[in-house]
Amino acid sequence: MCGCASESEGPTPKPVTPSSFLDNRRSFLGALLGVGSVFVGGLLSVPLIRFALFPLIRRTTEVKRSPVGAASEFSALTEPVMRTIQIEMVDGWRKTVSEKAVYVTTDKNGQLCVLTSVCPHLGCTVPWNKEKNQFICPCHGATFTKDGSRVSGPSLRGMDTLETSVQDGQLLVRFQYFRQLVSNKEAVG
Ligand code: FES
């Protein structure tokens, strides 16, 4: 009896044949192609996902500032002047343009200010009455001074001022709507 382990024990390594080498190569290339496709697909889908989610990510409604006219045009106002402004609203992918009348006037300190023409009572358009030197609402008779302060009538507050700025010599205004039938100015859109 010999007692030594035979060198031929254990699994016999498979011989590498040309066909198994080709199979391995094919499966490696297939895996590489799959990973590459997923990577490229992921990269391409980023802008598409951002495009689809854009209306949800950005602020719901954005109102752009509207030009009223050259600021120098209003440097020597003696009474309110009406201007029709274009209001551009962007809501998601939807853009709407509407028109609204505003008044450029001066406040109690003589500073330029812009009033919305929407009556704070029930929303009628308030005209300037040159003869009476007052704003007089045609619907229920509310009256206001030239700076928009309440004088009489059912409105619980004065006419609403709008945010303004001057850019490149142009007077810009941010149009907003305000809650009606309340004594405090409260923006609603
Ligand atoms: S809507 Fe102007 S007073 Fe009523």
Alpha helices in 112-182 (DSSP H): none
Tokens of 92: 């998601």
Contact 143, 131 (CB under 8 A): no
Q: For residue 10, what pLDDT is reported?
A: 54
Q: Say whether pTM exceeds 0.85.
A: no
Q: For residue 4, what pLDDT is reported?
A: 46
The CA-atom distances, in angstroms, between 54 and each of 85, 96, 137, 180 are 28, 18, 42, 33
Number of the ligand 1 atom closest to the C-alpha atom of 124: 1
Please tell me the distance from the alpha carbon of residue 107 to that of residue 144, in angstroms, as a whole number: 13
**CA quadruple 66, 71, 73, 78: dihedral positive or negative?**
positive
Alpha helices in the chain (DSSP H): 18-57
Number of the ligand 1 atom closest to the C-alpha atom of 123: 1
Q: Which residues line ligand 1 (CB under 6 A)?
A: 119, 121-122, 124, 137, 139-140, 142, 153-155
Number of the ligand 1 atom closest to the C-alpha atom of 140: 3
Contact 189, 176 (CB under 8 A): yes
Q: Please say whether the structural domain 61-174 has been given the CATH code 2.102.10.10.
A: yes
Please tell me the distance from the alpha carbon of residue 109 to that of residue 131, in angstroms, as a whole number: 23
Contact 171, 160 (CB under 8 A): no
Please tell me the distance from the alpha carbon of residue 63 to that of residue 75, in angstroms, as a whole number: 27
Give the distance (Å) from ligand 1 centre to CA of residue 128. 14
pLDDT tens digits, the chain, 189 residues: what are they? 444 444 445 566 666 676 666 677 778 788 888 887 888 777 777 666 666 665 555 555 677 899 999 999 999 999 999 999 999 888 777 888 999 999 999 999 999 999 999 999 999 999 999 999 999 999 999 999 999 999 999 999 999 999 999 999 999 999 999 999 999 999 996
